[in-house]
């Protein structure tokens, strides 16, 4: 050790021995600090990579859209595309090799929008009906989600040549859009089908269509499919008169047939209220949708003009 007389400032300084434990602690703290810095820079780099990738995708998508010669396709909103994807998702197939992989396929009408004006008009009407019915469901249920149920209603109604707004009015009166509703007499689901009636209608479609009564509560598409088929069956029996169809749906087709044979037009008061409520909503919504379509057409004409 150096002489303290040579270095006076060391006179009162004590030399502290550094133990091996102290040395290890110091090295550990240093390594923790380095690891923290490394993690921070790794996260920063990952965030920058994600941000730049998204920016590049957005730029490329706008470039590709600008290159499209068909102006109608460009004017289609992202919400329209999203609805098409949602419909495709509901019909998607799981690949056998990997059950986690889903193959998406846009409806054929979606591709035709760009080349066929008639298909474009029909597809726009399809989307407009889905949006309108979705808003009706949201107003009644006070829940933000209604697109999936609206798509099922429109799809099944069109298959049987029924106005989706009429089917929507029936569902509202029957269950208030509660798919798990069960009546005091055992009617089940959105369209309040008795299991015996549902089984009869399913067998008219083919014996393989009957899945049992439980799916009537849990499978919205199945319930509406059988419900609309039942409306169609009643329409064939009573000449497509909506008021008579509704009376038969509520009171029973046998009761309505016997009443007609007797020459009576009298119905139970409950059935009359039921029928009139549905027809009132159907008329109101039809008027609102027509006005909305007129306003939309005028707005598009102004935009393109």
Phi-psi region of 210 (alpha: psi -120 to 50; beta: other; left: phi over 0): beta
- Separation of alpha carbons 166 and 265, rounded Å: 23
Instruction: Please give the Cα distance from 231 to 236 (Å, whole number).
Output: 9
Task: Please tell me whether residue 168 adopts helix, strand or coil conformation.
Answer: helix
Active site residue 174: yes
Q: Out of 86, 122, 156, 174, which one is annotated catalytic?
A: 174
Q: Is the dihedral of CA 76, 79, 81, 84 positive or negative?
A: negative
The angle formed by the CA atoms of residues 113, 83 and 302, to the nearest 5 degrees, is: 55
What is the rounded distance in angstroms from the CA atom of residue 107 to the CA atom of residue 219?
Answer: 22
CA of residue 129 relative to chain centroid, distance: 14
**Backbone φ, ψ for residue 176 (5° rounding):** 65, 30
- From residue 80, give the alpha-carbon distance in Å to each of 54, 74, 128, 167: 22, 11, 9, 23
Residue among 183, 161, 84, 158 nearest 124 (CA): 84
Q: Which active-site residues does the annotation give?
A: 174
């Amino acid at each position: 050790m150096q002489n303290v007389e040579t270095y006076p400032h060391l006179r009162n300084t004590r030399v502290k021995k550094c133990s091996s434990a102290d040395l290890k602690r110091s090295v550990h703290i240093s390594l923790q600090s380095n690891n923290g810095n490394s993690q921070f820079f790794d996260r920063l780099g990952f965030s920058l990579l994600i941000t730049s990738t998204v920016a590049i995708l957005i730029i490329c998508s706008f470039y590709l859209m600008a290159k499209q010669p068909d102006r109608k396709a460009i004017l289609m909103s992202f919400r329209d595309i999203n609805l098409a994807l949602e419909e495709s998702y509901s019909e998607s197939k799981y690949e056998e090799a990997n059950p986690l992989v889903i193959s998406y396929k846009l409806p054929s009408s979606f591709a035709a929008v760009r080349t066929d004006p008639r298909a474009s008009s029909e597809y726009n009407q399809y989307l407009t009906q889905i949006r309108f019915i979705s808003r009706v469901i949201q107003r009644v249920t006070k829940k933000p989600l209604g697109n999936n149920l609206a798509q099922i209603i429109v799809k099944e109604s069109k298959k049987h040549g029924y106005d989706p707004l009429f089917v929507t009015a029936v569902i509202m009166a029957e269950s208030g859009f509660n798919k798990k509703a069960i009546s005091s007499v055992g009617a089940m689901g959105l369209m309040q089908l008795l299991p015996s009636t549902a089984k009869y209608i399913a067998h008219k479609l083919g014996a393989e269509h009957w899945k049992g009564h439980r799916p009537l509560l849990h499978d919205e598409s199945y319930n509406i499919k059988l419900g609309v088929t039942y409306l169609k069956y009643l329409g064939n029996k009573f000449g497509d008169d909506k008021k008579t169809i509704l009376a038969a749906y509520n009171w029973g087709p046998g009761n309505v047939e016997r009443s007609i044979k007797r020459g009576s037009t009298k119905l139970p008061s409950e059935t009359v209220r039921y029928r009139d409520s549905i027809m009132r909503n159907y008329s109101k919504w039809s008027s609102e949708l027509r006005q909305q379509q007129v306003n939309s057409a005028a707005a598009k004409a102004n935009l393109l003009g």
